[in-house]
Each structure stands twice: as structure tokens, then as C-alpha cells.
Amino acid sequence: MSDYNWKTLESSAETPVWIRSEADLSRYCDHWRTLPLIALDTEFIRVETFYPIAGLIQVADERQCYLIDPLDISDFSALAALFQDEAVIKLMHAATEDLELFLKVMGVLPTPVFDTQIGGALLNWGFSMGLQRMLEQKLGVQMEKHETTSDWLKRPLTKSQEHYAALDVAYLPAIYEMQKQALSERGTYYWAEQENQTMLDNALIDDVEGYDYYRRFTQMWRCPTHKLAALRDLTAWREQVARDRDVPRNRILKNQVLLQIVEAWPRNLGDLSRLHEIRKHILRSDGETILGFLRAGADSAQANPPEPIPKPLHYFWNKHLKKLKAIARRAAEENDLAPEILLRRKELEALVRSGVDEGEYKLPPQMSDWRQQLIGAALLDELEVIERLRCST
């Protein structure tokens, strides 16, 4: 790691190396596969489309910053092979959207990944800390963000855009070295490895058909079964159409319009046209299809009953959820890490619902091993006390 000098990389970011051919990409990938780590980032546009459009892929190695041009390169097999090389750590920051782009462009994810945003949370630097603030606090570097909303598909890019993009990877090796040393001294580097693997696992979960999307509308838990089936089928149709046409979901139907349709239950195109914010071109091209899902709601519910949307937890749980959160908060303080990374809201609700709905409190499988070991027993002990209170009221 001593070869990765952030000041050298900072200087190289002023004149990054462009990679615009498969031959050059293959040559550099051969070199990168000899290294212990590289830094990665992307720039993309996602305004009018469902899928992100790659504008740049940035790489930093031990001596230079590079800009890979996805507008000139179509064969990324060399980069995909590097991504799957377990001997090379790929450093990223707030990697979720970048991972989605890599899956779209190459069909593979980089592995192993170390996300410095996760590392920062495990060291209590802050939860979801942006790179700009992290660099300012840890390296004393002021990083401009004025190119954040740039058009990354235009060519040529300005020198300012090139510099900005290259700087996004220039400092990651130095940040990683700080985090690795601190986590190793604590004996918790493996926590970061587990969290980064969970991030990669989650990146592979994609409800392509959209049949689970309706469960996000938690306010619809009282919805009759035939309406719930129609909501499920409508959201699945919207998902497939948005992907097929490569447009954002809300360009087909906004979430609030979906709910209006199911609640109003229009009988014809006239009724449908009177709903607020439904787009005229969607009404013309897809109106009958939308109405068809409503007409088929009862049959769909009978043939394929929708999984119910859980009703809100009883108000009894309001104060007891605070007790459970307090357990995580105390453990976070004792271990000097951001409490948000120790116990997430969805995990807490899943834990409580396992007992309320199924009769036995179980730690959710998405809760990584180190977190289960740190607070799992205390949470289950507290739930045992709470359950006795619940049964006695």
C-alpha cells in the first residue's frame, strides 16, 4: 500500500489517461491484475431512462488515474475478468448505483469490493458520509462538486470534467489504508468484509417482473383482495413496460396514480381520464390495458392470491421499539460505530414481526453475522420480556 501515494494520484488526476480501445483496456487490465487493489467509480446519466447510461468508468492504480470511455468501447471482457479476480480489491465509495451500472454494462459485479462509506460507518466517522466531507475531514482536501450534474455523454469532456472524475478515485487508496489500519487494530476488519459482501448480494436481487413492488404500498394493507391483486398486476405491468421502453417508472404511471386507479376503480376510459396526473399518451396507448387489470382483479386474486401487505404494528410496540433501538445504540457507542449500520429499521421490523406473526422471534437472515453476535442475544432477551408484557395486557 505504500506505493499508493494520494498526492501522486491527485497530481495525476490533472492529466488522466484516456482508455478508448479494447486493446488498451486489455493491456491496462493485465497490469491492474498484478496489483493488490484498484479504485473504481463511474459517471452516468439517468434522467430520461430506466437504465443508467454509462458516461465514464474511472480507475486509479498505484501511479495514475484513468478514464475508460464506454462510448468507444463495446467489449468489456478484459474488465469483467479483472472484476472477477478475487486477488484484487476494488475500492469504491457509496457503490450501490455503480454496481447497478456494472451489471448493466458487463453483466458481472466487481469482487471483492471495499466501500469506504461502509468503512467510515464502522469507524463512526458518520453514516452515509459523502466522499467530499470524508476527504475534508481525513485528508484536509477540499473537493469541488460543481460537475456533479454534468452531461457525461457529451464529447469532448471539458478539462474540468476530466479532473473532477479522476479525483473521485485518486484519494480512495489513502482512505482505504486509514480505514484498514483502524479496523484491523480493532479486530473488526472482517465486519467490513461481511457488510461489503451483503452489499454485493443485495445488488444481485432484482424484481425483474415487478410482482413484489406492490408491497411497498404499506398504506394499502386494508385493501380488498381483488384490488390488491389488481395493484400487484398493475405495478408488475408498469415495471415490465418501463424496462422494455427504457423509461422511468413514473413516465408510465406515478405511484400516486397507481393508488388512485385502484382506489377509484374506473369502469371506462372516461373515468380513467378524470384521474389526476395520468398522462394523456399513456391513456391513449395503454388505457384499455390498465382497465383490463381492474376487470380481471377478482379472477387474478382467485387464481394467484396476492400476499397480504402486513398491517401496521400495534401501538403497543411504539415504546418497546425504542427499547430495542436503545440496545443497538448502546452497543454502537461501546464499539464506536455508527448506530445506523448496526440495526436497520427494516431488520428491526422483520424481527418484531417474526414473533407477532409467526409466534417465534428470530433474527432476520439479512442481519450479518457480526451484528447478530454483537446485539442478537440482547435483542431476543428484551423481546422475551416484551412478549410477557404483551401477553398479559
CATH topology of domain 317-392: DNA polymerase; domain 1 (1.10.150)
β partners of residue 58: 41, 67
Report helix, strand or coil for 314. Answer: coil
CA distances from 271 to 172, 258, 264, 267, 351 (A): 55, 14, 9, 6, 43
pLDDT at 208: 84
CA 234 to chain centre: 24
Q: What is the pLDDT of residues 337-360, one digit of tens each?
A: 999 999 999 999 999 999 998 889
Binned average pLDDT, 10 residues per bin, the chain of 393 residues = 86 98 98 98 96 98 98 98 99 98 97 99 97 96 80 96 97 98 98 97 90 96 97 98 97 97 97 94 97 98 96 92 97 97 94 92 94 98 93 77
Q: pTM for this one?
A: 0.93
Alpha-carbon dihedral angle through residues 117, 120, 126, 131, given to the nearest 10 degrees: -50
Q: Which residue reads 459482501 in cell numbers?
A: 197
Q: What is the pLDDT of residues 258-288, one digit of tens each?
A: 999 999 999 999 999 999 889 999 999 999 9
pLDDT at 235: 98
pLDDT at 146: 74
Q: Distance between CA atoms of 273 and 260, rounded to whole angstroms? A: 12
317-392 and 6-203 share a CATH fold: no
Report helix, strand or coil for 55. Answer: strand
CA distances from 345 to 126, 315, 326 (A): 17, 17, 13
pLDDT at 353: 94
Q: Return the H-helix or E-strand segment holding 41.
A: strand 37-45
Closest listed residue to residue 122, CA positions, set 300, 335, 384 = 335
Q: Which residue reads 442481519 in cell numbers?
A: 367
Order of strands across the sheet that contains 65-68:
17-19, 65-68, 53-60, 37-45, 89-92, 113-115
pLDDT at 1: 55
CA 393 to chain centre: 40
CA distances from 385 to 312, 382, 388, 391 (A): 21, 5, 5, 10
CATH class of 213-303: mainly alpha
CATH topology of domain 6-203: Nucleotidyltransferase; domain 5 (3.30.420)
Q: Distance between CA atoms of 95 and 346, rounded to whole angstroms? A: 20
Mind giving me the DSSP string for 185-231? Answer: HHT-HHHHHHHHHHHHHHHT---TT-TTGGGG-GGGTT--HHHHHHH
β partners of residue 113: 90
Q: Distance between CA atoms of 129 and 93, rounded to whole angstroms? A: 9
Q: Enumerate the domain spans of the chain.
A: 6-203, 213-303, 317-392
Q: What is the pLDDT of residues 172-222, one digit of tens each?
A: 999 999 999 999 999 999 999 999 999 999 999 988 889 999 999 999 999
CB 383 within 8 A of CB 355: yes
